[in-house]
Structure 1
Amino acid sequence: MTKSTHARKWRREDFDGVPGAPEASTWYVEPRRPLRITKVDIYRDGGTGTMLVRDAADSRWTFCFDKFLGRLCVGAHTSDDDAAFVRSGSPLETELFDLMDQELQQLTSQPPALSPRGLELLSHFHQHALAHSGQHRRRSASHRR
């Protein structure tokens, strides 16, 4: 897996948190909905996951999953300057978990947009990110409405 250079970069000045542990809680530029996950992969560094999200205008945002805890982050890789943890309970986290839930639920209603490996990785990263966020079991977005 190589890093994507076409995705929007997150800006460090928009991050919250403490030095050494920046956090993002909102989109720095609002995407045009609907959003879709178009790729999920894993780096050869021992487990960092990556997820590419596209919006209706075909803008791209990269997210990653920390290789140690599986925590959801913004940016292509946790070692990048534009990477930050997604704040637990934030609007950004809620929207991304809803998006992952929807992608995983679509398996039964239509052909998936992701490859079988991508879906397997998404399921794995999703579960680890939920556990880190304290949401071991989450009702799907369709059941909350």
Structure 2
Amino acid sequence: MDDSSQIPGFREMDDWPTSPVYPLSVAFFDAVRGGGHVLDIADADGTRFPFFFDRFLGRLCYGSRDEDSDDAAFVANGSKLASDVFDACESAITSGADDADRIRAVIDRALHWSQR
């Protein structure tokens, strides 16, 4: 069984809502009540894009802070959007960000359900 397929009834996106200006960086990362994590990715112009990792499987999502919100969407596995976000997280980890260990744990869990 392929666990990486789209979830029926939930939106999925594979590209940025507006094109970011590279390079990208992790601007904010934190845990939220219920087991999920939030992540803001900033582009070179300072525009912030909200992401979160769902509280059930830790899958990467875009938009609001939880998968039950109207503007939330799962990020398609193997998409340019997913790759950009994971690359920004990897960069934060290798550069020694304060939350590097927590980011690593969340990314490892998300990558379990994703194809890069």
1:53 to 2:34 alignment: no
Per-residue deviation, residues 80-121 of structure 1 (Å, max 9, x unmatched): 2111100001111111111111111112xxxx3xx3xx3232
The partner residue of 1:67 within 55, 65, 87 is 55
Deviation >6 Å, runs of 4+ = none
Query: Given the two structures, how large is their TM-score scaled by the length of structure 1?
Result: 0.69
What's the % identity of the aligned pairs? 35
Q: Any residues of structure 2 matched to 1:22-33 within 5 Å, and which?
A: 22-33=11-22
TM-score by length of 2: 0.85
The code of the aligned residue for 2:92 comes to E
CA RMSD of aligned residues (A): 1.7
Where does the alignment leave 5 or more consecutive residues of structure 2 unmatched? 1-5
Q: Name the count of aligned residue pairs.
A: 110
Does the 8 Å CA contact 2:41/2:50 hold for their aligned counterparts? yes
1:134 to partner: Cα distance: 4.3
8 Å Cα contact 2:50-2:62 kept in structure 1: yes
Q: Over alpha carbons, which structure has the higher Rg?
A: 1
Instruction: Tell me the equivalent position of 1:91.
Output: 80
